[in-house]
Structures are given as structure tokens and as C-alpha cells.
Structure 1
Amino acid sequence: MRNLFMLLISLFFCSCSGQKSKINGISFVASPKEINDTNIDPVVRVNANWAAVMPFGFVKNLKEPSVIFNTERQWWGERADGAKRTIELLNQKGIKIMLKPQIWVWRGEFTGNISMDSEEDWNTFEKSYEDFIMLYAKLAQEMKVPILCIGTELHTFVQKRPEYWSQLIQDIRAVYKGKLTYAENWDQFANAPFWDQLDYIGVDAYFPVSDSKTPTIEEMKKGWEIHKSKIVALQGTIGKPVLFTEYGYRSVHYTGKEPWDSNRTNGNVNLEAQSNALSALYGEFWNESWFAGGFLWKWYHNHDEVGGEDNNRFTIQNKPSEKLIQSLYKDD
């Protein structure tokens, strides 16, 4: 009887500790200028225990076979020195890091459509991308970063050049000893060919979950059913935990209809829709044993100057959803 009691106690504490280990993350937007520890305090107050740090590389168009990165023309936080200092500041406050180097195409064209027209251009682009990622793989190792994300929303590149990616992962592991993931878009996550080589199945979780102007939490949870079943199926096949490398909703009407939409149109502010959408997503996933957690899109360094109740963008800063996430992240 005593052995049964001890087993039950052990299972109770294991389940609790499993909850505590969830990644309650924010996506920390690169700052134009150097920041200090006061810029990290709001991250602590929202009870985040992880942050994605996102240095950038740039390509001129979808056919350009070179990545421009770590140049003086970039914002401070987009370069290696800025990323390193940002990691240091977050670590000092007890925040763990996923380093997530990303590509930006001029004029905001979708990275998933990057594709070269010749083998020569593919080879040039692949070498350039390798240089970009290896710079940050070495930084991740130097800074003892727990997770490195090796790419974001690059499905054409990934699916057309699988041998390249398989070799790149081996090269990264030769210099970086932490965990690896890749951030694939919500509609392509099942098609990445290398999940078995990584430690997390990374999904940018902008799934359409409701056509309503102000959907209820229950309506959005219902909207998750078909998507969640696909996530569960892939997770069962691959056997790796699922990480939402990005998740979030704008505070705007119809926020669950096309959550990926980042147009610059103002107005149609809907704070309730944002809060309901985040509540539904959290309720659907955070208690699942196979789910590692996620990184909320997105969080700015200048907390007092961003967001607010007239803002319809993704950030939760200075909106009711900030208090919601503070509560949800605390309870986890």
C-alpha cells in the first residue's frame, strides 16, 4: 500500500513539473539601438520564461541568390553583436533563449516562395544561407543557448533541396550542442522532410479557426479541431514534441479568419477577439504532454511606447491580453 501511495505522489509531482517546464515564450523584436536591463523588466512581469531572439538576414527578391547579414546598415538587434547582448540581458533576468535567425525579403514578399532558377543560383544561395546560419549556430554555442531555430517559413527551399538541409543539420550539430528546431508555416508543417533530425517540430501557428467578427473561446476551440488532429498525427509519427515557434493574433475584427495577415491597415480594433483567440489556443495546447510550449508574436523592447488599446497589431503590450498572458503564464 505504501508503494502505491509513493507511486501516486511521484506521478503527481511529475505531472506538475511537466507543466512547469512548458516554454512560455515571447518573440523579442530586434531593437534599432542598444537596449539595457530595463527593457527586459516587462518580459519578466508578463511571466515569460523564454524569449526568441531574432537576428535577420535580407535578400533583395525571391530569386536573389545571396543573403545579406551582420552589416553595419542593419539595426543593432538584427546583427550578431546586438543579438549577443540581448541574449545576455535576457539571461541575466532568468529568461531562456531560442535563437531564431530569420530571412526578410525586401517589400515583405513571403519567404516560403524563395526559389532559384538554376543549379548555379541554388548552390550560391545555399552557401550564403549556410554562412548566415553557421554564424548564429556558433553564437548559440558560445552563449549556451538551449534552442536554435535553423530557418523560418522556407517551405519551397526546404522541399526542393532536402539533401542540402540534411547536410546543413549535420554541420550545425558539429558546432552547436543544444536542441534544434525549424519554424514551418501552419499550412506546410507536415511537409518538412527532416523533422526526425531535429529535436522539436516547429510550427508557426497561424491556423484559421473562425470566420466570426468576435469569436467566442468555445467557437475558436471548435475551429482548432481539424488542425489539432493533423498536428497530433504528425507528432505521433515523428515522436518529437511540438513547439509553436510563433503564435499570436491581432487585436482586430475577424482575427481568427486569416491570423497570418499582417497588413498595415489601422482601425477595426477588437481587443476581446484577441483575448478570446489566445485563451482558446492556450486551452487547447498547454496541457498536452506532447506540446512543448510556444513563443508569442510579438514583443517590443520599448514597452511603454507600443501597443495600447487603439492598436490593432499582434503585440499584446498595454492591452487586456497582456494581463491575460501574464495570468496564463503564471499558472502554467
Structure 2
Amino acid sequence: MRNICLLWLVLLQISCSSQFVGKINGISFVASRDRATEAHIAPVKNIHAGHAAVMPFGFIREVNSPDIIFDTDRQWYGETRMGAKQYIELLHRNGIRVMVKPQIWIWRGVFTGELQMDSEENWKQLEKSYEDFILTYASLAEETGAEIFCIGTELERFVDQRPAFWTGLIRKIRERYKGKLTYAANWDEYGRTPFWASLDYIGIDAYFPLSESKTPTVEELKEGWRPWKDKIAALSEQLDRPVLFTEFGYRSMDYTAKKPWLMDRDEGPVNLEGQVNAKKAIFESFWDEKWFAGGFVWKWFINHDRSGGPQDNRFTPQNKPAQEVISTFFKLYR
């Protein structure tokens, strides 16, 4: 009888812990001027991150320019194909899985969702340029065995106005890359993205407005999440696809959850507590849901010792109390 009781206790412990297993606990590994080293990976492992997004970049001069400039010797090392490959291989050697997430930067930081051409000729040129860009990195993802590939980030007008192009592009990516696919839709875009059924994850950059408080509490933020969460869960059920937060994060500043998408150079007061509460609320709201795959913290710089800190009001949680929150939840849900 005693042995039966012991066996039952062991099975109960396994059952209770298994609900937390298998989440994608990722960080957005920011491209640097330099090669990555083991010293750069150690802090990632210390917070129990099991995934990292590697982000090579392409550049566009104007919001209506059809030409994407990428993989040139004028870019930072980590933004190029060579640099992305080196990052991926190093992360893999350290047991960290990778999402390859090629991104576009429009000069002066114009929002990529506004990318729009003024003629059919320019649309076709943009499609050709984007296809070259994205297939270059789909091939790299296959070559390096990256586990996830993101086909685009926050390109709402491009997606909305050229749906046939995206359908064909996904087919071409599938021919080159055999892993899982997603797209990083902006928080107010994902409900209109037409091709989720062709991908493996519903990808969302989760900068949802949650609270207008200067320092919102965890409970206030969880209440703010409730209507958004219901809509996300309904879409996941409708399409039979898990949801992946391709980016999630909050600045360590006042009113962090009012407009979480703001990436300007505002040097307002530092508010570490607000960032901590927002991180706790998103983990407590989503990470134990079966339909939720996990997410990637925005953002993590490779030079950890020189990043973030208690006087920094930017997105990175590095060397701030929010880093410990992430570490705790990543360890619990790995």
C-alpha cells in the first residue's frame, strides 16, 4: 500500500508540472557590430531562455521606395547573412533554439506597416525585392536547422494590398524551408491577416494598450488583458493554430502599458516597478494556456554587462528587476 501511495504522489507531481512544459521562452537577440561569443550567450542561458530570435535586417530609403538593401558590407555584422549564421550556430551549440526573423527598417524609423507603393510597377519591384530578401534568409534558416522562420514583421498595408503575392511567397518559402512558419503581425493587425491557415503559428507583436495608470498593478494589467485575450483565444480556436508572441515587452518608464508600442527617444522618468508588473501580468495571463505557444522578449543586447541597468528606461529588461521576473517564469514554464 505504501508503494502504491508513493507511486501516486510521483505521478501527481509529473502531472502538475507537465502543464508548464514546452513553452517557447525566447529573447530577441539584437544584431551587433560584433561576432557573438560564448560570453554573450551565458546570460541568455542564465535566465533559462530556450529560444532566441535572430534578426538580420534589410533597409528601405523611403516609405514608398520599392528597393530593399540587405546583406551589404555597410551593415552591422549581426544584420548580415554571415553574422546571422554565426549567431544561429553559436546559439545552437549552446542548446538554444532559433527563430530567424528578417526585418525591414525604413529610414528615420517610419513604421513598416505604412509601407505602400504609388504604382503597380513599384509594387512589382517591391515584391521582387522582398522575395529576394526573405528567400535568402529562408535558405539560411534551412541550412542552419533553425526551428522557426518568420516571413515578415508588421507589414499590414503590404499584406492587405498584395494578398496573392503573399500566398505565392509562402509556397516558395515552404519549398526551401521545412521548419515552422509564422508572421509577426502588429497587435492591431493580426485579426485581419489573411494567411494564418498557411502558417504554423499565429504570430503577434503583443503591444496591446492595457492601462493608463502611471504604475499599473499586476491585477489591473491582467484585467486590461482580459478582452484582448478572449479575442486572441477565439482566433486560435477558429483557425486551430497556436499563438506565438513574436515580440512582447514594456519599457521601464511611467505609463508603460498605455502605449507599449512607442519606441521613441523619450527620456522620461524611469519606472522599474511598472516594467516588472507588466511582465508578471503577461506571464500570468498567457503562459499556462494550452493554445499559447510562448513568446520572445523585446529586446536583448548581446553585450549584457553594458546593457539596461536601473537608470535605463528602454525596453530591455537586462540588469533590471524585470530580468529576474523573466528568469523565474522561463524556469517554471520550460
SS of corresponding position for 1:220 = helix
Which residue in the other structure is 2:204 paired with? 203
Distance in 2 (CA, whole Å) between partners of 1:11 and 1:175 is: 44
TM-score if structure 1 supplies the norm length?
Answer: 0.96
CA distances 1:179-210 after superposition (whole Å, capped 9, x unpaired): 00000000011101000000000000000000
Matched, 1:257 2:233: no
Distance in 1 (CA, whole Å) between partners of 2:92 and 2:138 is: 18
Which residue in the other structure is 2:142 paired with? 141
Distance in 1 (CA, whole Å) between partners of 2:279 and 2:86 is: 30
SS of corresponding position for 2:230 = helix
- The alpha-carbon deviation at position 20 of structure 1 amounts to 1.7
- The alpha-carbon deviation at position 7 of structure 1 amounts to 12
Between 1:321-330 and 1:150-159, the stretch displaced more is 321-330
Which residue in the other structure is 1:315 paired with? 316
- The alpha-carbon deviation at position 15 of structure 1 amounts to 6.8
Kindly report which structure 2 residues correspond to 1:254-293, keeping only aligned pairs within 5 A, or say none. Answer: 254-293=255-294
SS of corresponding position for 1:19 = coil
CA distances 1:97-136 after superposition (whole Å, capped 9, x unpaired): 0000000000000000001111111000000000000000
SS of corresponding position for 1:266 = coil
Kindly report which structure 2 residues correspond to 1:96-245, keeping only aligned pairs within 5 A, or say none. Answer: 96-245=97-246
Which residue in the other structure is 2:70 paired with? 69
Query: Does the 8 Å contact 2:19/2:288 carry over to 1?
Result: no
Which residue in the other structure is 1:26 paired with? 27
Distance in 1 (CA, whole Å) between partners of 2:89 and 2:54 is: 11
CA distances 1:244-283 after superposition (whole Å, capped 9, x unpaired): 0000000000000000011112131000000000000000
Residues 129 and 12 from structure 1, CA distance in 2 versus in 1: closer, same or farther, beyond 3 angstroms?
Answer: farther
CA distances 1:185-242 after superposition (whole Å, capped 9, x unpaired): 0001110100000000000000000000000000000001111111012111111000
Query: Does the 8 Å contact 2:187/2:206 carry over to 1?
Result: yes
Structural RMSD (CA): 1.6
CA distances 1:65-114 after superposition (whole Å, capped 9, x unpaired): 01000000000000000000001111111100000000000000000000
Distance in 1 (CA, whole Å) between partners of 2:329 and 2:115 is: 37
SS of corresponding position for 1:294 = strand
Distance in 1 (CA, whole Å) between partners of 2:83 and 2:72 is: 11
CA distances 1:29-53 after superposition (whole Å, capped 9, x unpaired): 0011222111111000011000000
Query: Does the 8 Å contact 2:20/2:332 carry over to 1?
Result: no
Residues 293 and 11 from structure 1, CA distance in 2 versus in 1: closer, same or farther, beyond 3 angstroms?
Answer: farther
Which residue in the other structure is 1:3 paired with? none
- The alpha-carbon deviation at position 10 of structure 1 amounts to 7.8
Query: Does the 8 Å contact 2:38/2:90 carry over to 1?
Result: yes
SS of corresponding position for 1:58 = strand
Distance in 1 (CA, whole Å) between partners of 2:332 and 2:218 is: 18
Distance in 2 (CA, whole Å) between partners of 1:99 and 1:328 is: 23
Which residue in the other structure is 2:3 paired with? none
Unaligned runs of 5+ in 2: 1-6
| Structure 2 letter corresponding to 1:258 | K
Which residue in the other structure is 1:327 paired with? 328
Distance in 2 (CA, whole Å) between partners of 1:211 and 1:290 is: 28
SS of corresponding position for 2:295 = strand
- The alpha-carbon deviation at position 14 of structure 1 amounts to 6.5
TM-score if structure 2 supplies the norm length?
Answer: 0.95
- The alpha-carbon deviation at position 16 of structure 1 amounts to 3.9
| Structure 1 letter corresponding to 2:295 | G
Q: How many residues align?
A: 327
Q: Any runs of at least 4 consecutive aligned residues in structure 1 with deviations exceeding 3 A, and if so which? A: 6-18
- The alpha-carbon deviation at position 18 of structure 1 amounts to 5.0
